[in-house]
Amino acid sequence: MPADALPDSTPVSPLGVNRTITLVGLMGVGKSTVGRRLAQRLGLPFHDGDHEIEAAAGMTVSEIFATRGEGEFRAGEARVMRRLLEGPPIVLATGGGAIMNSETRALIKQHSISVWMKADLDVIAERVQRRDTRPLLRGKNTLTVLTDLAEARYPVYSQADLTVEVGWGSHGQAVDAIYRELRRYVRGGKPS
């Protein structure tokens, strides 16, 4: 839909993006930090899926996993993702497993431009070992868990509209790289 056909309240970024930008990828790849900065650059609101789930449940992700289990967390995550994806355009940092839900995946495809933030597993392992806030990693070998998650999730992540290598670079470099790929995508060019 052309930007001039949008309701006045629908934000349109400097790139002409009038859809949500959904960031997907493994935990620790930088979706939240990069997402905040990307949202500022695009002039769109930012939402962190995990924070939205915590607000809806009135407890942390770790507490949800501990008291209700992963299944209940994933069900709540799907409800929150639906609400966010069906709303006005935003930059959305999803939890690493959100896109594994087929309904959420369909909503992402329908309502957003998806960006797979991809980094070497060693880079991600180093980042996530800094804090003990990841329920899927507790008491386990970080690199083994990440390798298993990558094996299961990379085929799904690879369906994203764009793939951007974020590696060892700074968050600012990741924002720049995503912005460049979005510009190409919006202008009808092939992502690199």
Task: For 88-105, write each residue's pLDDT tens digit.
Answer: 999 999 988 899 999 999
DSSP per residue, 3-34: GGGS-TTS---TT---SEEEEE-STTSSHHHH
Task: For 9-48, write each residue's pLDDT tens digit.
Answer: 444 456 677 899 999 999 889 999 999 999 999 999 999 9
In a 13 Å sphere around the CA of 175, the CA atoms on its Cβ side amount to 15
How distant, in Å, are the alpha carbons of 55, 71, 113 from that of 67? 16, 11, 34
Tokens of 56: 């809806």
Q: Worst-scoring range by mean pLDDT, 32-36, 42-46, 156-160, 167-171?
A: 167-171
Pairing of β 46-48 and β 162-165: unpaired
Mean pLDDT (the chain) is 86
Tokens of 180: 């460049």
Q: Is the pLDDT of residue 2 over 70?
A: no
Q: Which residue has the tokens 């006005």?
A: 88
